[in-house]
A and B are shown apart, each in its own frame.
Chain A
Amino acid sequence: MVEVLPRRSALEGALEAGTFGAGGTPGLTLSERRRLAIVHVAGDAGDPAFTDAVRGRTGLDLPIEANTTAAGNGRTILWLAPNRWLVVCDGEESAALETGLRDALGSTFAAVNDVSQGRTVIRVAGARAPDLLAKGCPLDLHARAFPTGACGQSSLAKINVLVHSVDRGADGGTDAPILDVYVARGFALSLWEFLTDGAGEFGYTISPMP
C-alpha cells in the first residue's frame, strides 16, 4: 500500500530547481533529502542488551559521546540525548526499520518510534553553508568545532533543529561543507523560506528533486 503511495513532502511545491540570488558563482546548494527512514530510539546506553540489539539491527555502535554520530551501511545514528538517538537510513522502509528495531529489542526497556514523516531534512552544501546557518543559529559550525560527523541540536530562525555535519570536505573543512538540517515537518516551509531568503546574498542553487 505505502509502496505505491508516494510520500508528500512538506516542501512539495516549494522547491523550484534553479539558480537564484546574487550573481557570480553560487556559494550554496539547497536541497531536500526525501524518503528517508528516520527512527527515534530511546534506551539506556549502559544496558548491553539495548546497545547490542541496536548494533544487531543497524550494524552500528550507538554513538555514546554527545554531539557525535555513527555511520556505515547506508545508515547514520545521530546522538540526541544521553538516552536518545535518531537512526536514519536512505533507501530503507521506515516501518521495517522501526519493527526490526522493536523486535530486536524485545522486552528490553527502550522506546522505538518511526518519526520519518515528522521530520524534514534540508541539505545545505557549499562553502557558504555555515554562513547561511549562522544567520539564525547560535551553534559554532566552524570545521574545528563541528567536524565531519558532528551533530548538534539548537535553534535556527527560532525553530528547533538538529544539524548534522555530513562532510566538511577537503582542506580542513572550509572547502565544501555539507550540513543536513533536521526540522519538524510543520516548520519546514517556514525554515525553507528563511534559508532561501538568507541565501540570496551568497547566490544559491536549488537541486532538482529526483
Chain B
Amino acid sequence: MTGQPFRIAEGGRIDRAKPLTFTFDGRAYQGFQGDTLASALLANGVRVVGRSFKYHRPRGIVTAGSEEPNALVQLRAGGRTEPNTRATCIELFDGLSAESQNRWPSVDFDLHALTGLFSRFMPSGFYYKTFKWPAWMWMTYEKFIRHAAGMGRSPTVADPDRYDHRYGHCDVLIAGAGPAGLAAALAAGRTGARVIVADERCEPGGSLLDHAATQGGPSAPSAAADWIAQSVAELEAMPEVTLLRRCTVFGYYDHNMLGLLEQVADHQSQSQSKADPFQPRQRLWQVRAKQVVLATGAIERPIVFAGNDRPGVMLAAAARAYVNRYGVRPGNRAVVFTNNDSAYEAALDLAAAGVAVAAIVDCRAEGGALTETARAQGMDCLTGYAVVAAKGGKRVTGVTVMALAEDGDAGGKVTGGRRAIACDLVCVSGGWNPTVHLHSQSRGKVRFDDAIAAFVPGESFQAERSAGAARGTFATAACRAEGAAAGGEAARLAGFGDTPPPAPSGDEPRQAALAPAGAPLWSVPQAPGGHGKRFVDQQHDVTAEDVALAVREGYHSVEHLKRYTTLGMATDQGRTSNVIGLAILAQLLGKDIAAVGATTFRPPYTPVCLGAITGRETGRHFAPTRRSAMHPWHQARGARFVAAGMWLRPQFYARPNEAMMDAIHREAKHVRQHVGMVDVSTLGKIDIQGPDAAEFLNRVYINGFKKLETGRCRYGVMLREDGLVFDDGTVTRLSENRYLMTTTTAHAGPVMAHLEYHLQVTWPELKVHVVSVTEEWSAIAIAGPHSRAVLERVAGGIDMSNRAFPFMGFRQGAVAGVPGRVFRISFSGELAYEINVPADHGLFVWEAMMEAGGAFDIIPYGTEAMSILRTEKGHVVGGEIDGRTSADDLGFGRMMSQAKDFIGKHSARRPGLVDGHRQQLVGLTPTDRKTRIPRGARIVAEPIGQVPKSGAATPVGMIGAVTSQCYSPNLDTPIALALVERGRDRHGEILYAASPVAGITVPVTVRDPVFIDPQGERLRG
C-alpha cells in the first residue's frame, strides 16, 4: 500500500471519509469514493497504464471521459472480467481489480516494445502489404498479429451477473445532463411532458463538475453547484421526469428510437452487488421519443506533435477535471500548449491547485483573452510558439518549443532556436469538437464551422435538435439558454406547453474566446532533424506520417484513408483523432475540410458489452417455449423433448436402461401391434365459419370441399401461388357453415397468415371468419389395432363401430366425461383416432385414456416413432414438402381439381412443373435389406464405388435425393423416401444412394412410397 502522493489536500467531489482499496496489475493502492480508476491511479503517481496497439509504446491517461484512447484496462476477473474498459469511466469501488493490456510481461518492461525499433517496417497498410501472401502463411501471420495486438482478453467462463432490457417511451428525450441538458429538461419537464434525461456520468452537471467554481463547499459557495443541485431536485420532484445517471445514449435509430445503456451496478463493489442479487449490472433501454434534445457537449481535441503520446501528455480539460473534481495533481510542473483560450482556464486552475505552470505555449501570435490574466499571475506565455516535441520515455520529462514562422496551419514552419522546458505534464488543447455523433447517427447532416474549426450539427432528419456545446455553443450561460429553448421547443412539438417557438438561435454570440482565432493548428511539423512519432490516433498507433503515406499512395477519399490506415477505427472510434486526421488529409490535398467531408458516425457511441445486448435472453429465457397441457405427464414419464418450432414435444419415452433407438423402435412396433398414444396438440387448428367457408376452402386447397358432408373429414393439400406445395392437413365439416382445418405444427402460423391475407386482401367479399383455436384444444392421437377398443371404454356415448363411425368420420361426444371431438383420421396408417378436448382437461383425458388402455397394453409414443410410422406409410412431411416440390411430385397430382380455380393452380400447370423429368416421390429399400440408407444421400444411377469422406466431387449424374429415412422395425429393413427423377416409372430399378458425408454408397431398390398396407385395410378396418 502506498500513499497518494499526488492527492491535493482538500477539495474536489471525492469523499475523503470513504477510502477505497483497489489493485492495478496486482499492486494495491488506495483511492476515495468519487474517484475514477484513472484519477485514483494519477493520485498514486501511476503514469503508465497500458501499451499501445502496434508499437507497444508506454501510454498514460489522456482524458477524463469516455473519449479516452489509451487507458484501456482489463477490469475485474473470472466471469465478470471485461476487456478494453476505459479507466477514465470506471468509478472506483472497494476491491476493484484491473490490469493493464497490451503488455508482456509488464507495462514497465514490454518485450514487444522492441517492435517500435523496427517501426519503419510498420507503415500504413502494413498488414495488407506484409501479410497478404503467400496465402497459406496467413494462419501463422494471424497468430503473430493477434498476440502482438493484445487488446485484452475475453472471459472464458459465463458472466454470473444479470443484465436486463426495457422499453421506454417519452415525449422528450434529452441526451446529456450538462448545463444545456439540465436546462432543456427543466423547460420540457415544467410543461408536464414525459421526459427522460440520460447522462453517462454518475452525477448531472456535465463539464461544470470539472470547474473549480463548481466545487463549492462551505467555504466557497458556488452558484453553479447550487444551480445543478436545484435543477436536479426540481427534476426529481417531477413525476413525469426520469433522470438516468450512468446512462449513455449510445445509438440513434430509425423513427426516433434510441438505445440507452444504464450501468446500474458497475460502480458497486462485489459485496454491494451481492446485497441485491436481483439488481441487474446493466440495463439496455430502447426508448421511443417523440422529440429529442441532444445536449451531448463537446470533446477537446489534441494537437499533434512529436512524442505527443508520452505519458503525462494530457488534454487540458482533463487536467483541469483531475485537479478540480478529483483533487489530484496529474503532475507537478506543467506546460500548457494551446490554440485557444480554454486551456488558460485549465492553467489557472492548475496553478491554484499547486501545480507549477512552467509555460503556456500559445500558437496564436497575439495570444488570447486570458493571456494577460495568466501573465499577471506570473506565467510565462509564449505566444506564436508551438511544442515541437515531448521528451521522455515512460513519462514526459520536458518539451522542446520553437517559434511558428506563420500563425497556424500544419503546413506552417517552426523556426528559430529551440527552447527546452522541463516538465512532467503537458496539457494540450487544440480546440473543441461538438459531440455530433448522435445527430449524425440520426441521419442529420454535419457541416464544418470555420469559426470554431469543427463539425457542427446541420440539418436534422429526425425529430431532434442539438443544444449547447453539442452545437458549438461553449459559454455556460449561452448553453443554458439554448438548452431551455430546445427543451421548450421539443415539449411544444410533442404537444406540451404553449410557449412560442424561440427565435432562431443561430446568431447567438458564441464565447468567441474559446474558439481558435484564425486558422487552427492541427499538427506541429517535425523540428529540423526531428523524427519523433507524431500520433494522430493513439489507440491504433496511426501517425501523421501514416496519413501522409496513405495520401501519397492514392487514398484520397476519407473513407479509404480510414480503412487503409485504420485511423478512427479503434474502440474510441476516433473521438480525439478523426477531425485531426481529416484536417491533415485536407491540407495534403489542398482542399477545405468541408470539401473532404466527414466519415459517418455509427452506433454505438461507446462500446456496449454483449451481456447488455443479450439481457435476460439466456439459459431458459433464451426463447419462449410452448408446452401442451400434457407436458407434466410426459415429463414425469421421462420423455426426452425435442423442440418443434417453439413447442417442446416428447421425442420418445425410454424405459430404464433402454437405449434411445431401442425405445423408438419399440414404440413404433408396439403401435402397429397393439395401441399407442401420441400428443398432437401442436398441430395448428383453424376454425373457419361463414356462408362462404366452403368456397374459401375450395380456393385455398387443390381439392374440392363443397361436397364434404357434415361430420366428415378430408385430407387437403395447399399450394403457394407459384404452384409448389405449401402445407397439408385435414378439414372437418363441423356443421353447415363451419369447418375445422388442421395444419402441420411448423406451418400453423404461416397458414393462418396466408388465410388472413387472402380473406383481407384477395377476396374481401367472401363472408368467412377464421379463428385460430390451436391453443383451446388438447389433441391426442390414438393408433393401433386396439385403438377402437380403448376409445369405447372412455367414449361410450359414441358408436365406434366401423359402420357408424367410418374412416374420415367425425363425431362429437364425451371422452372421459369431457365434451370433445373425435376424428377418425390416421397419420400412422393404423386404425386410429384423434381426440380433441378443451385444454384444461387435456391431461385428465390423456390419463383416463392411458388407464383405459391398460388392458390393451397401451403405450405413449413420441415424435420419432411417429416419424417411422408415417415413413412406413409414405406420408410426406417437411423433408418432402420443402418448398421445391409440386403436388404431382408428391403423388397428389390427381387430387388437383380441374373444375375450380385455386391458389397455385395456374402456376402448377406451367411447363417446368409438368414435364416428365421432375423428381417424384418414391420409396427405397437397400438391396441387402440391412444397410441404413444415409440421411440426405444423393441418388445416382451408376455405382460410383466408395465415396471418399472428404474432398469428393458431387456424384455425377445425380437424379434425386433421400428426403426421409429410418429403420422400419415393422418390416425389419431400412427404408427411405426419396425424390427421384421420373421416380414413378422406376419402381423395381436398382439405384444408388451416395453420401459423401457418410462416405458410403448403398444400392437401393426403387418402389412405391407406401411400405405398409398399400390398400389401406388397416386404417379402414
Distance in angstroms between the alpha carbons of A144 and B288 in the assembled complex: 15
A40 within 8 Å of B by Cβ?
yes
A150 within 8 Å of B by Cβ?
no
> Chain A interface: which of B90-98, B363-371, B500-508, B814-822?
B814-822
Of B166, B621, B626, B689, the residue contacting A186 (CB under 8 A) is B626
Minimum C-beta distance from A112 to chain B (A): 8
Judging by beta carbons under 8 Å apart, are B166 and A118 in contact?
A: no
Judging by beta carbons under 8 Å apart, are B624 and A187 in contact?
A: yes
Are A119 and B775 also in contact (CB < 8 A) when A157-B624, A158-B623, A200-B278 are? Answer: yes
A18 within 8 Å of B by Cβ?
no
Judging by beta carbons under 8 Å apart, are B841 and A5 in contact?
A: yes
Minimum C-beta distance from A157 to chain B (A): 6
Q: Contact residue range for chain B?
A: 35 or more
Question: Which residue, B194, B239, B681, B775, has most C-beta atoms of chain A within 10 A?
Answer: B775
Distance in angstroms between the alpha carbons of A4 and B286 in the assembled complex: 48
Chain B 575-616, CB-CB to A under 8 Å as 1, else 0, gives: 000000000000000000000000000000000000000001
Judging by beta carbons under 8 Å apart, are A1 and B624 in contact?
A: no
Q: Which residues from chain B contact A5 at a C-beta distance below 8 Å?
A: 817-818, 841, 844
Q: Which residues from chain A contact B840 at a C-beta distance below 8 Å?
A: 7-9, 117
Distance in angstroms between the alpha carbons of A166 and B773 in the assembled complex: 25
A174 within 8 Å of B by Cβ?
yes
Main SS of chain B's interface residues?
mixed
CB contacts between A and B, total, < 8 Å: 136
A114 within 8 Å of B by Cβ?
yes
A21 within 8 Å of B by Cβ?
yes
> Chain A interface: which of B627-635, B857-865, B944-952?
B627-635
Chain A 28-66, CB-CB to B under 8 Å as 1, else 0, gives: 000000000000101100000000000000000000000
Chain A residue at smallest Cβ distance from B264: A201
Judging by beta carbons under 8 Å apart, are A191 and B624 in contact?
A: yes
Distance in angstroms between the alpha carbons of A174 and B240 in the assembled complex: 10
- Number of residues from A at the complex interface, CB < 8 A: 54
Judging by beta carbons under 8 Å apart, are B776 and A117 in contact?
A: yes
Distance in angstroms between the alpha carbons of A95 and B566 in the assembled complex: 70
Chain A residue at smallest Cβ distance from B840: A7
Q: Which residues from chain A contact B262 at a C-beta distance below 8 Å?
A: none
Of A43, A117, A189, A194, the residue contacting B839 (CB under 8 A) is A117
Of B620, B627, B774, B841, the residue contacting A8 (CB under 8 A) is B841
Considering only residues 681-738 of chain B, those with a C-beta below 8 Å from chain A are 681, 687, 689-691
A10 within 8 Å of B by Cβ?
yes
Judging by beta carbons under 8 Å apart, are A118 and B777 in contact?
A: yes
Minimum C-beta distance from A90 to chain B (A): 16
B413 within 8 Å of A by Cβ?
no
Question: Which residue, B628, B632, B687, B840, has most C-beta atoms of chain A within 10 A?
Answer: B840
Q: Which residues from chain A contact B624 at a C-beta distance below 8 Å?
A: 157-159, 187, 190-191, 194
Distance in angstroms between the alpha carbons of A60 and B574 in the assembled complex: 63
Chain A 112-129, CB-CB to B under 8 Å as 1, else 0, gives: 011111110000000000
Judging by beta carbons under 8 Å apart, are A115 and B280 in contact?
A: no
Judging by beta carbons under 8 Å apart, are A198 and B169 in contact?
A: no
Judging by beta carbons under 8 Å apart, are A142 and B169 in contact?
A: yes
Distance in angstroms between the alpha carbons of A111 and B681 in the assembled complex: 23
Judging by beta carbons under 8 Å apart, are B819 and A197 in contact?
A: no
A92 within 8 Å of B by Cβ?
no
Chain B residue at smallest Cβ distance from A133: B167
List 8 A-B pairs, Cβ < 8 Å. A13-B632, A22-B276, A83-B769, A118-B775, A119-B775, A135-B164, A135-B167, A137-B167
**Given A9-B840, A109-B767, A186-B628, 20 additional A-B pairs, CB 8 A:** A2-B841, A5-B841, A8-B841, A110-B769, A111-B690, A114-B776, A116-B776, A134-B166, A134-B167, A135-B164, A144-B194, A174-B239, A184-B774, A185-B775, A187-B625, A187-B626, A187-B646, A189-B625, A190-B624, A198-B164
Residues on B close to A: CB < 8 A? 164-169, 194, 239, 276-280, 286, 288, 616, 620-621, 623-629, 632, 646-647, 681, 687, 689-691, 767, 769, 771, 773-777, 814, 817-819, 838-841, 843-844
